[in-house]
Amino acid sequence: MGPDESDLKAAEELKFKANAAFKEKNYEEALVEYTKAIQLAPTSAIFFANRAFTHIRLESCGSAVADATRAIELDPKYVKGYYRRADANFALGKFKLAFKDFRMAAKYAPSDPDLRKKLAETERVVKRLRFEEAIASEEEVPAAETLDLSTLKIEADYDGPEMEGTEADGYRVTLPFVEALLEHFKAQKGLHRRFACQILLSARSILKSLPSLVDIPLEDSQQFTVCGDVHGQFYDLLNIFKINGLPSESNPYLFNGDFVDRGSFSVEIILTLLAFKCLYPDHVHLARGNHESRHMNQVYGFEGEVKHKFNGTVMDLFRELFCWLPLAHVINKRVIVVHGGLFARDGVTLDDIRKVDRNRQPPDDGLMCELLWSDPQPSKGRSPNKRGVGVAFGPDVTRAFLELNKLDLLVRSHEAKPDGYEVEHNGDCVTVFSAPNYCDQMGNKGAFIRFTGADMIPQFTTFEAVPHPDVKAMAYASSMFGSSLLGV
């Protein structure tokens, strides 16, 4: 039996409340109300498509695909079902699946101009992927090994910061250069491509020498700071440095991935952090996040930003460097820090992580994928991750992993939290997120964690967003997808 008239009326009222919450960007509230409506009217394709869009805004693209698929099952000609599933798959970097669904949507709504644009854009991306696959070979020489820095001449009228050294003898990063770089970027001025490439090549050399899991020893009295996602929010990074001090040998940092994308000052963020890595290689640590990858950069703005501020060759250098970022860090043999989370199987050891071959684009499954994409869940055991990638792991999984590897705490990032951090799994798992008012719309605080070597107890500092120049989040993302994927 289907819903009766009173259920349908109540479901429509709930949909109205959900729509209003969605427009106010109260996505969690909208999700609750759409779910209530679905419970009353489980055969409504519209309700499932609307909830799918809400899941996209909440970064739950796996759940969005499931809801959109259900909408299509209920109504095989429902355009928004295909539209939402295509958006979710595009957000996950599954461009071929997105193209298939946009093509189906266009079949039923051939005159929709926005849909036609998205179809054309996705087709262009798919063709580029096929071309790249066709020309790829094991003998392909990295851009870092073919770039001739001597061809990048510094013009006489360049007035930005300059690295110490000469063209003949080479350039190196110094503290005065980094301090000048921060002020230059703060004034919205660009770094010369010659120096940007030098930073990238020097940092790549350092990162390439590191294992996939880096051990960080601390003295008992030593302080250590862990920051979560900063996502191109350069002025908020400056605020972290104002609150907590610049990185130095006496003030070490670990930045736990997702330096780029979404925020439109990603170039400034990543060049700053890489410059500090060159300056203090043993005291500034950088981990890979799920956004340090080709597909994410194509969707969420970093590739567009790099090509706008530099060129495609510089993007190639970034892409190669990201593949050498470590996947995990263990601080003082007690706290493990990874970007996403834990694994789809029991028994994973620190040595297993050390053995991961990270010099590649992230795969769709396995340890590397899970380190970058997984999320904690409140219930025991494991479940499919709402993102559609990685796994959702429970408190028993976290405790078993920590006990097996003789660790005290798991620190991860990957999720915006209202207070900038959250303690879960009976205190065994901490999420830290350092991009306040994420994407200029979420209203969350940012946070960072301070540890002291003697006790390794996390101490949290929270902070609000600071003003930034009027360049909106996702400004360099694809013009066809920036608005619909904002916040994903």
Question: CA torsion 30→93→357→354, rounded to 10°?
Answer: -10
Helices (H) and strands (E) in the chain, counts: 18, 16
Measure the CA–CA gap between 311 and 100, rounded to whole angstroms: 31
On the CB side of 91, how many CA atoms lie within 13 Å of its CA?
Answer: 30
Q: Which residue has the tokens 């892409």?
A: 319
Classify burial at 168, counting beta carbons within 10 Å of its beta carbon; exposed 0-12, middle 13-18, buried 19 or more.
exposed
Measure the CA–CA gap between 181 and 272, rounded to whole angstroms: 8
Q: Which residue has the tokens 């703060």?
A: 186
Is 468 within 8 Å of 239 (Cβ atoms)? no
Question: CA torsion 128→133→138→143, rounded to 10°?
Answer: 10
Residue 209 CB: number of other CB atoms within 10 A? 9
Residue 184 CB: number of other CB atoms within 10 A? 17
Tokens encoding 7: 């259920």
Measure the CA–CA gap between 327 and 374, rounded to whole angstroms: 13
Q: Annotated catalytic residue: which of 55, 285, 291, 339?
A: 291
Measure the CA–CA gap between 346 and 399, rounded to whole angstroms: 11
Q: Which residue has the tokens 């051939």?
A: 110
Per-position DSSP letters for 241-281, written without gaps between them:
HHHH---BTTB-EEE-S--SSSSTTHHHHHHHHHHHHHH-T
Helical residues (DSSP H) of 245-394, grouped into ranges: 266-279, 294-300, 302-309, 312-322, 350-354, 367-373
* Amino acid occupying residue 165: G
Measure the CA–CA gap between 262 and 275, rounded to whole angstroms: 22
Tokens encoding 124: 């262009």
Catalytic annotation present for 291: yes
Tokens encoding 315: 């993007």
Is 439 within 8 Å of 300 (Cβ atoms)? no
Active centre residues (catalytic): 291
